[in-house]
């Protein structure tokens, strides 16, 4: 049992660590009023503040600032790529654990928890797997067995070191897909049918009884996006409810939080309402991949402040919406950004002419988004501090 006593003035948390004592717990570090880092301010709420980590950047001796900031600002880390299947098993039967183990060691050294990302996803699969399925040399039965083995091997390898696993990622289609009616999409649903989802959670649980098992997806920040029949958040909610009814060991839903300032997005109350509905099922929640990108018009690229400022402000406001909603719901356990500096963002590579998505600029200057996150963590203070409710792994 975790025992917490809150002293209202100064919000000092006195915590003893129990249930998760195999994990480095930043709860073991008391809140330090002199430390204004995001991770320390998160301690006032028991909220873990995380980032995706790019291992090449972490190991770049010419860029020590990256490593320093990962260590000093964040209390949880996620591998941006090195725990994906193509990285872990590039050749069939030969696992490359090195980079992922390095991240785990880094996290331990810096008293950080680790989100495992990702066990089952249709992207970044190894070529041997997709080729084998396409040319018929891997049968459906063998594919199911390969998936079971993969989950078992990976979860067993990292057993006791992962706080939250993204067990299944991005399994649900979007209203703009074909057919437009929401459905289970991608490689795994096509080849194994949607039951692979329940199987994946059961296999993961069998290999690690203590990790929290998450379903993770984008565009599920709020209910009510357009046509109710095509509401992706509702679809994921129904899925989670069904899984629970079948006694599938799912512990949480991760909302990625990839937003763009060109879209309508949401306000805090809508997002908080969605978190609350998931919590109502008995699930934890987390923001797992937050970034808020903008279109890089010619004027933006030429440094025109008329176009840059509104983007930076809108980006900051959207970070704040998600963070405030998370702070307001005691089952929201962590808030992870998908990289913290524009220097290494996936956005320009992936979305073409978009950028400015992160909380530090390319030169590691904190942007308005960083300062607003910090303000949210500070001003959501006593007497309104809401300590998190720890989630117990479901059997």
Question: Which parts of this chain interact with ligand XIL (CB under 6 A)?
Answer: 80-81, 169, 256, 289, 346
Q: Among residues 16 and 124, whose Cβ is nearest to ligand XIL? A: 124
Q: State in angstroms the smallest separation of the CB of 165 from ligand XIL.
A: 13
Q: State in angstroms the smallest separation of the CB of 346 from ligand XIL.
A: 3
Q: State in angstroms the smallest separation of the CB of 60 from ligand XIL.
A: 15
Residue nearest to ligand XIL (CB): 346
Active site residue 170: yes
Q: Among residues 278 and 338, whose Cβ is nearest to ligand XIL? A: 338
Catalytic residue among 289, 298, 307, 354: 289
Q: Among residues 59 and 140, whose Cβ is nearest to ligand XIL? A: 59
Q: Among residues 255 and 315, whose Cβ is nearest to ligand XIL? A: 255
Q: State in angstroms the smallest separation of the CB of 172 from ligand XIL.
A: 13
Catalytic residue among 80, 89, 170, 221: 170
| C-beta pairs of 263-267 under 8 Å, 24+ apart in sequence | 265/221, 265/318, 265/321, 266/221, 266/222, 266/321, 267/321
Q: Among residues 169 and 341, whose Cβ is nearest to ligand XIL? A: 169
Active site residue 221: no
Q: State in angstroms the smallest separation of the CB of 354 from ligand XIL.
A: 13
Catalytic residues: 170, 289
């Amino acid at each position: 049992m975790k025992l917490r006593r809150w002293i209202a003035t100064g919000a000092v948390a006195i915590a003893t660590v129990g249930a998760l004592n195999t994990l480095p717990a930043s709860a073991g570090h008391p809140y330090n009023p002199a430390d204004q880092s995001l991770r320390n301010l998160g301690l006032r709420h028991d909220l873990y503040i995380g980032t995706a980590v790019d291992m090449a950047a972490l190991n770049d001796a010419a860029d020590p600032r990256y490593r320093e900031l990962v260590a000093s600002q964040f209390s949880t880390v996620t591998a941006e790529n090195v725990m994906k299947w193509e990285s872990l098993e590039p050749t069939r039967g030969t696992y490359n654990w090195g980079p992922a183990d390095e991240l785990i060691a880094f996290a331990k050294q810096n008293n950080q928890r680790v989100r495992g990302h990702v066990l089952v996803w249709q992207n970044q699969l190894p070529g041997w797997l997709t080729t084998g399925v396409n040319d018929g040399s891997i049968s459906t039965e063998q594919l199911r067995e390969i998936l079971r083995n993969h989950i078992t091997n990976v979860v067993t390898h990292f057993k006791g070191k992962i706080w939250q696993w993204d067990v299944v990622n991005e399994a649900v289609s979007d209203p703009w897909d074909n057919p437009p009616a929401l459905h289970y999409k991608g490689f795994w649903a096509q080849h194994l049918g949607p039951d692979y989802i329940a199987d994946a959670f059961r296999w993961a649980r069998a290999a690690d009884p203590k990790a929290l098992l998450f379903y993770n997806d984008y565009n599920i920040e709020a209910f009510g996006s357009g046509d109710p029949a095509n509401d992706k958040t509702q679809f994921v909610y129904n899925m989670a409810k069904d899984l629970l009814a079948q006694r599938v060991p799912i512990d949480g839903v991760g909302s990625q939080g990839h937003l763009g300032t060109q879209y309508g997005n949401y306000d805090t109350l809508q997002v908080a309402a969605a978190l609350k509905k998931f919590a109502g099922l008995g699930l934890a929640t987390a923001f797992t991949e937050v970034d808020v990108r903008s279109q890089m018009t010619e004027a933006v690229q030429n440094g025109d402040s008329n176009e840059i400022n509104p983007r930076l402000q809108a980006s900051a406001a959207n970070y704040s919406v998600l963070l405030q909603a998370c702070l307001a719901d005691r089952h929201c356990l962590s808030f992870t950004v998908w990289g913290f500096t524009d220097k290494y963002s996936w956005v320009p590579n992936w979305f073409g002419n978009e950028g400015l998505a992160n909380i530090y600029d390319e030169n590691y200057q904190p942007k308005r988004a960083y300062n607003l996150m910090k303000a949210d963590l500070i001003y959501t203070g006593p007497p309104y501090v809401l300590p998190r409710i720890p989630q117990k792994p479901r059997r």
